[in-house]
Every structure is written in C-alpha cells, then in structure tokens.
Structure 1
Amino acid sequence: MAMRWFAVPALLVTLVGSTWAADCPALLQGSLPKLHAKESIELCQRFAGKPLVVVNTASFCGFAPQFKGLEALYQRYKDQGLEVLGVPSNDFKQEAKDGAQTAKVCYVNYGVTFTMTEPQKVRGADAVHLFKALAEQSSTPKWNFYKYVVDRQGRVIANFSSLTKPDNPEFIEAVEKVLASGS
C-alpha cells in the first residue's frame, strides 16, 4: 500500500512535467548556468508565461552602466510580473575571463538582482539556443546590451540596440505593452 503513495506524486510530477513541456515556447527550451552559482536556470520553468527582457551584457563594455537602468526597470515592474535575464558574453571581447569577476561587476558594482547567467555565446553557429531563437524572431545582437522584449508566449515583440537606454520611452512602452497583455 505504501508503494502507491509514492507512485501518485511521481505520476503527478510526470503529468505536470509533460504539460509544462507542451506549454513551453521554443524560445525558452533548455537551461543556462546561473552566474557564479552551482545551479542552472531552467528557462521554461523560470520564465514561461511571463513578460521578459533578455539582454546580452559585458562587464567591461562602455554600455555597462546600463546595468543600473536595467535594475531600475526590474525593480519598477517586477511586481507586475516582469522578468529580466542578463546573459554575459565575450563575443565582442569585453567580458571578464571568469564568472567570479563578472559576478562582482554585476552584483557588487551595479547591484543587479535580476537573473544573470554565466557568460555564453550569443552570435553565430555556437550561440546558445536562446539567442539563436531570438535571432530567428528578430535579429542577432550587433553589440553588447542589445535588448529583446518578449511576450508571455515567447514571442519577441521588440528589440533595441545598445544605444537604447533602459529608460528610453520606446523601450518602456514595449515593456508596458507586454505587461498589459495578460495572455
């Protein structure tokens, strides 16, 4: 009889897991290692059904002060469901050689609390799946701090260049648009 009690939770996990996989947009398939941590971020589990801003970052880029603006954006809208995902990359030769140094820049120097990954490839054939999917829907990052606004269904509704600051009215309008769309 005790065996059955264990079987029910396992069955529930299987059913919920398969439903979750079916509801996961292609953009959010897979996982990425969390910055300076031992765990991975299961993208579907963490972001499916949520409005999302994805940005490729670099610690030693002239646009790095945008971390403050991205953090302010996150703080302003997180209670409305907005998620921000920062993906450091050395594709433009401006990222630290190790995650510890990247973490110091993000967490200590700029006070980032939104989700950050370990450095990843964001361009070309070796790009991680997330950035390949972003590029398919919009365009490849042209430089660091390229921003993508993604709706709750995993569709890119807007993308912005490095020159667009996080407090830019057009960027804010795109974020507010995905927040307003409840479906």
Structure 2
Amino acid sequence: MSTFYELTPKDAKGNDYPFADLKGKVVVIINVASKCGFTSQYKELEELNKKYEGKNVQILGFPCNQFGGQEPGTADEIASFCSLNYGVTFPVLSKIEVNGSNEDPVYKFLKSQKSGLLGMNRIKWNFEKFLIDQNGKVVERFSSLTKPSSIAPKIDALLK
C-alpha cells in the first residue's frame, strides 16, 4: 500500500471499512485488548471520542491477541465488553495481528511510516497509538504508556 487511504481493513462484522472514507479527518488508531493492564485506557479513548464528536476526528480500535493472549474474545464478546465496561461508541474493528508474518496491512503501513522506541519497527504491547493527519500522513506514534488524554493537544493542533 502506498497511501493510508488505499487501506481497507474489516470491521467487527467482517465488512470492508475503507480508509478512503476518512479523508479530511484526523485519525487515532490503537491496538486494543480487553484483559490488559492498559485496558482502562478505553475510558479516556471514549472521552476523546466524545470531546471530538461532530468534528473531523475518528478513533479506531483494532483488537489484537498477540501480547500475552489478552484479547481472546470473539468480535461480539469484544464489542459487548467495550460497550458494557467503558461505554465505547467509536469503531472497534476486526481482531488482527500487528506484528509478524500475518500482520495486518494497516499496521504494516503505520509502522513503515513511524518506527517505535529505538527505531523498532514492531508494536511493543497493547494500546500503542498512531496519530494520522487529515491528509493521511502518520504524524506521531505513542507508546502504551501514553495516556489518550495527552494526545488531545496534538489533535487540537491538527484541527487548527
């Protein structure tokens, strides 16, 4: 893939979710898990989602079970967990792999645009975050330790 907007991952129901529909929006992409020490970040992610409701911002979660088996559920179980425990209303797409030979093209693209700590081209753990501008450029990558709320000023700057 040469551009962000050419990517078409699957949603939780297995339908295409074309990133071409995100043109003009600031996008935050996170690899998520329901049984992780960082799972409580769902709360702040949903707060960001509410803060930017009606603005050109889209938050997207990609469940991943590659780190300690912390996302073992089915798509329905994951959706139920997110809704019941954190009131999540942003899209949580299909479960994917973010590293290795079966890595999803979305993560292959994201990692090719922004390497991680010490130049690593791997996702280190659940809840790493990527910030994409309105033109589909990956502008920043954040570790699992980065609180979602701390990304808000960077989103605000992109919206100006």
- Post-superposition Cα deviations, 1:95-139, rounded to whole Å, max 9, x if no partner, equal 023112111111221111111111011112321111111000112
Output the TM-score relative to the length of structure 2.
0.88
Spell out structure 1 runs of 4+ moving beyond 4 A.
none
Larger radius of gyration: 1
1:66 touches 1:165 (CA, 8 Å); kept in 2? yes
Q: Which amino acid counterpart does residue 60 of structure 2 have in structure 1?
A: L
Q: Could you tell me which residue of structure 2 aligns to residue 134 of structure 1?
A: 110
Q: Could you tell me which residue of structure 2 aligns to residue 32 of structure 1?
A: 9
Q: Could you tell me which residue of structure 2 aligns to residue 80 of structure 1?
A: 55
CA distance in 2, matches of 1:60, 1:123: 19
Partner of 1:131: helix, strand, or coil?
helix
Partner of 2:25: helix, strand, or coil?
coil
Alignment map for 1:119-130 (pairs within 5 Å): 119-130=95-106
Q: Could you tell me which residue of structure 1 aligns to residue 118 of structure 2?
A: none
Output the TM-score relative to the length of structure 1.
0.77
Q: Which has the higher contact order (CA 8 A, sep 6+)?
A: 2
1:86 touches 1:116 (CA, 8 Å); kept in 2? yes
2:33 touches 2:70 (CA, 8 Å); kept in 1? yes
CA distance in 1, matches of 2:20, 2:2: 8
- Tell me whether 1:165 sits opposite 2:142 in the alignment: no
Q: Could you tell me which residue of structure 1 aligns to residue 119 of structure 2?
A: none
Change (3 A) 1:44 1:25: farther
CA distance in 2, matches of 1:57, 1:100: 15
- Tell me whether 1:155 sits opposite 2:131 in the alignment: no
RMSD over aligned Cα, in angstroms? 1.7
- Post-superposition Cα deviations, 1:14-67, rounded to whole Å, max 9, x if no partner, equal xxxxxxxxxx971232322222x353312212x122110001101111111111
1:29 touches 1:130 (CA, 8 Å); kept in 2? no
